[in-house]
Copies of this chain bind each other. A is one copy, B any other.
Amino acid sequence: MDVFGSPIRQLIGEFAKLPGIGAKSAQRLAFHIIHMPGERAEALAAAILAAKRGVKYCSVCCNLTDADPCAICGDGRRDGRLIMVVEDPRDMAAYERTNEYKGLYHVLHGAISPMNGIGPNALKIKELLARVSQAGVEEIIMATNPNVEGEATALYIHRLMKPLGVKVTRIAHGVPVGGDLEFVDEVTLSKALEGRREM
């Protein structure tokens, strides 16, 4: 017996397709929407369509943006000699929150992962090469994730960059600030020891 009728069932189904939303959450969200004021539901639907339609890649750094170049590439005060390479726009946002980094970014939109069928051509590596070939870039900071795919991607890009004579660095591995040594895995502990610096 279909208790709710098809529009509700359909909305529950659409929500359940989203990542991290199970059947129960999808039901709760659908009922929330049915009970919310009409203009709020319309605002949500409109925001989905606007984000899907209005967002494109920045032609310089491949960040997701509604303006081209994006706010960071268009900001004359940033240091164009530094390019930090990240996998995802959210990684970039994370580094922006530190308020420490004043260079530019390049977003790969993924990492090399043969297991998942993602090769170098699926990433924005060509665009990075084109940027680096142009004048003024002095250092590429590899800030891909500290996992197998991220390391492989960093290594791959490092090899591509070698002939161009540009400096390629990798963000440090080590124990997270505020963490407890007891709970840090062995590989990280080894990396932290290996990367120790004089105080």
Residues of A within 8 A of B (CB): 1-8, 10-11, 13-15, 17-21, 25, 27-34, 36, 38, 40-55, 63-67, 70-72, 75, 88-90, 92-93, 96
Contact = CB atoms under 8 A, between A and B. Distances in A.
A19 B32 contact: yes
A14 B64 contact: no
B52 A38 contact: yes
Contacts of A29: 18-21
A102 B54 CA distance: 51
What copy number does this chain have within its complex? 2
A27 B88 CA distance: 12
B7 A72 contact: no
A6 to B, nearest CB: 6
B25 A20 contact: yes
B10 A51 contact: yes
Given A19-B29, A27-B90, A32-B18, A5 B48 contact: no
A49 B45 contact: yes
B41 A8 contact: no
**Chain A to chain B: the 4 pairs with minimum beta-carbon distance, closest first:** A5-B66, A45-B45, A11-B51, A41-B52
A164 B18 CA distance: 49
B63 A3 contact: yes
B63 A8 contact: no
A52 B5 CA distance: 13
Contact of A51 (B25, B30, B53): B30
Contacts of A63: 3-4
A79 to B, nearest CB: 14
B3 A50 contact: no
A156 B44 CA distance: 38
A42 to B, nearest CB: 7
